[in-house]
Amino acid sequence: MKRILVLSVLAILIASVSFGQMAYKKGDRTVSAMFGLGFTHSLSGTTTAVPPLSAAFDYGYDQNISFGGIIGFESEKYDWSGYGYGYKFTYSYLIIAARGAYHLDLIHNAKFDTYGGVMVGYDIASSSAEYTGNWAGGFGLQPSAESVGGVVFGVFAGGRYYFNPNLAAQIEVGYGLSLVNIGIAYKL
């Protein structure tokens, strides 16, 4: 899946040679708020506690390239019980990343901004664990909570449709906090 996504983004970038009137311009400063669908961190049997939410900022470095950052958060929980034992786990993920995008005029309409890019950052993952069974102490089987983190890489492709010169609906697909992000974008 990851390889197909990377190849798709590269194909879009290579195939694009049109530089007509675009919604994106050098010097644009755009903030966006997004809601994610299709979690990339999900574990089998977990339920959503907080869906993937993210906020991003992009600065138009030149005619086609923007740089910025993104911060995202999601949380999941897992409950298990049986034979008098019970456990409750909560997993949280916070991603802070830098990102760069190449904006291209795929739609040939001044209200659309289409782009593809990459991100690199850090994923701060943490968990909490609790014994919820009715057997006294669970015979010493107490769950432990862990906090970990690591470098994350992601690729994305997206588009914005501007209802007016500053406000847009936005969608991004890719690998990061979630597989699909939908939201709004605002040019400052």
Model pLDDT, residue 2: 60
Model pLDDT, residue 142: 58
- CA 142, 146, 147: angle at the middle one, nearest 5? 160
- CA 66, 53, 170: angle at the middle one, nearest 5? 45
Model pLDDT, residue 77: 83
Q: Which residue has the higher pLDDT, 130 or 146?
A: 130
What are the tokens at 31?
């903030």
Can you name the residues that pair with 147 across neighbouring β-strands? Answer: 126
Model pLDDT, residue 22: 65
Cβ burial, residue 119 (10 Å; 0-12/13-18/19+): buried
- How confident is residue 16, by pLDDT bands cut at 50, 70 and 90? very low
Q: Which CATH class is domain 2-187?
A: mainly beta
pLDDT tens digit sequence for 96-129: 999 999 998 888 888 899 999 999 999 988 888 7
Domain boundaries, the chain: 2-187
Q: How many helices (H) and strands (E) does the chain have?
A: 1, 8
pLDDT mean across residues, the chain: 80
**Stated pTM of the model:** 0.72
Contact by Cβ (8 Å): 52, 43:
no
Question: Which residue has 């760069």 as its token pair?
Answer: 100
Average pLDDT, integer, range 140-153: 71
Model pLDDT, residue 23: 74
Highest mean pLDDT among 1-15, 30-44, 114-128: 114-128
| SS3 state of residue 106 | coil
Model pLDDT, residue 3: 61
> Count of CB atoms within 10 A of residue 112's CB?
17
Model pLDDT, residue 17: 40
Percent with pLDDT over 90 in the chain:
39
Which helix (DSSP H) or strand (DSSP E) does residue 114 occupy? strand 112-131
Model pLDDT, residue 88: 80
